[in-house]
Structure 1
C-alpha cells in the first residue's frame, strides 16, 4: 500500500490553489473545480465542494480543519518563515525547537487547514 493523496475540499479552488502554489513552489494543474499539486511524495489535491458531491455523492463541507496537520519537511524552517511570512496571516506557532529535535512552525491556510513546516535534526531523516 502507498499513501497517494490528500484532498482538501474548499469553496474557492482558485484562491486555495494560489496559496499552495506560493507555499510549495509548484504549479497547480487542473481547473476551477479540481487541481493537483505535486510537491514531491504524495499529491495534494484541492477540490470544490460541488465537485466532491458530484464525484462521490454524500455530503461534503468545506470547513476549517481542527483535527489534521499537513506536514512538510523543509531544509531550513527559519528561511521558510522569512519567505512565507508575507502571505501567511494565521500563525499557530512561530519557529521553535521541539523536544524531539525538530525545528518547527505551524500556520493555517486561508481555509483554516493546519500546516507544519519542520526541519529534522538530521537532514536525512
Structure 2
C-alpha cells in the first residue's frame, strides 16, 4: 500500500482551491472543474467537489476529524496570512509540550489546518 493524498470535499472547489493557493504559494493543477490537486515533494493535497464523494456531508462547517498540516518557516506570519485569507483562528500560535511551535486555523470548508515548526535543532 502506498499513501497517495489527503482530499478535502467541498461544495466550492474554486474558492477552496484559491484559498490553498494563496496560503501555500503553490499553484493547483485543475484536472477537472470538480477536482484540483496540489502536488508537492512532501505530499499531495486534493480538493474535490461533493459529486466526487456523495457520501460526505460537505455542508457541515463544524470541521472534521482530520487535520491538514503544513511545515512553515514562521508560524506567526503563516497564521496571520491564513486569517487574512478568511481562515477562522482556532489556536493562536503557541509552543506545544513536545516543542513544536503551532497555530491552527479552520479553512473556509471547515477543515482544521495546523501551521507548525519543530523546535530548532
What's 2:70 paired with?
72
Counterpart CA distance in 1 for 2:42 and 2:95 is 25
TM-score (norm 1): 0.84
**Within the alignment, does 1:23 sit opposite 2:23 as a pair?**
yes
**Within the alignment, does 1:36 sit opposite 2:32 as a pair?**
no
CA contact (8 A) 2:79 2:105 kept: no
What's 2:52 paired with?
51
- Flag the structure with higher strand content: 2
TM-score (norm 2): 0.86
Quick check: 62-71 or 24-33, which moved more?
Answer: 62-71
Coordinate RMSD, CA, aligned = 1.7
What's 2:113 paired with?
115
Which ranges of structure 1 fall in alignment gaps of 5 or more residues? 54-58
CA contact (8 A) 1:37 1:45 kept: yes
Which ranges of structure 2 fall in alignment gaps of 5 or more residues? none
* Consecutive aligned runs of 4 or more in structure 1 exceeding 4 Å deviation: none
CA contact (8 A) 2:82 2:105 kept: no
Return the offset for 1:118: 0.5
Q: How many residues align?
A: 118
Which structure would you say has the larger Rg? 1
Return the offset for 1:80: 1.6
